[in-house]
Amino acid sequence: MRFLPLLFVVAACGSGEPPFPVDYETSWTQVADCRAGSVHGGDAIRIHVNAAAEVVWNDWSQRVLDSPSGVLPAGEMISFPPGAVLLKTQYSDSDCSQFKHWTMMTRLEVGADTDNGNWRWETIKKDEEGDATEPTTWSGCFDCHQNYRRYDYAGNPPNPN
């Protein structure tokens, strides 16, 4: 009986299900609509966030909107709670119709991965059948994201306009 849970985990890993809800486009909040990307190979992107990230993202957007300079006021920082997920869907065309892959940032517990700002970055692709592949973890993302410390390493500030 002790082996049954292990067998279930192994079976679930090969299921083709992504590490986020399949219905993320309706169950999570889209915080960035289709827009041309300036990084990540210039891919066009959409960004969705889970409930744990939504409150922080909305507060961040409002503080940017309220600021005369259009950026987070000097000295202020944001901080996402553990479990917050920012999911970037990347596309190879400017109108976001040619899916390329997902890039997912997951906020970890404090101290879980200090070398990467306590975030885990993963890329998830689709296989030939359209199923999600196993996530590929990227440690090099922090090399660029460390420049966004004030924004809890999430990247450029939201554009609420």
Domain count across the chain:
1
What local confidence, expressed as pLDDT, does residue 109 receive? Answer: 98
pLDDT of residue 41: 78
Query: What percent of the chain has pLDDT above 90?
Result: 69
Would you say residue 93 lies in a domain?
A: yes
Range of the domain at 64: 24-151
Model pLDDT, residue 5: 36
Residue 17 lies in a domain: no
> Tell me, what's the pLDDT at 40?
75
41-78 per-position pLDDT tens digit: 789 999 999 999 999 999 999 988 888 888 888 889 99
The percent of residues above 70 in pLDDT, for the chain, comes to 89
Question: Residue 72: its pLDDT value, please?
Answer: 86
Residue 11 lies in a domain: no
Q: Is residue 51 part of a domain?
A: yes
Give the pLDDT score at 15: 56
How would DSSP label each residue in 19-58? SS-TTHHHHSEEEEEEE--SSGGG-EEEEEE-HHHHHHHH
- Confidence (pLDDT) at 12: 39
Residue type (1 letter), 5: P
pLDDT (0 to 100) of residue 6: 34
pTM value is 0.85
Measured between alpha carbons, how far is 72 from 78 in angstroms, rounded to an integer? 9
Distances from the Cα of 125 to the Cα of 40, 74, 102, 103, angstroms: 15, 38, 6, 9
Q: What is the CATH number of the domain that holds 32?
A: 3.50.70
How does strand 99-107 pair with strand 29-35?
unpaired
**Ranges of residues in the chain whose predicted pLDDT is under 50:** 1-14
The 3-state secondary structure of 88-145 reads EEEECCCCCCCEEEEEEEEECCCCCCHHHCCEEEEEECECCCCCECCCEEECCHHHHH
Residue 34 lies in a domain: yes
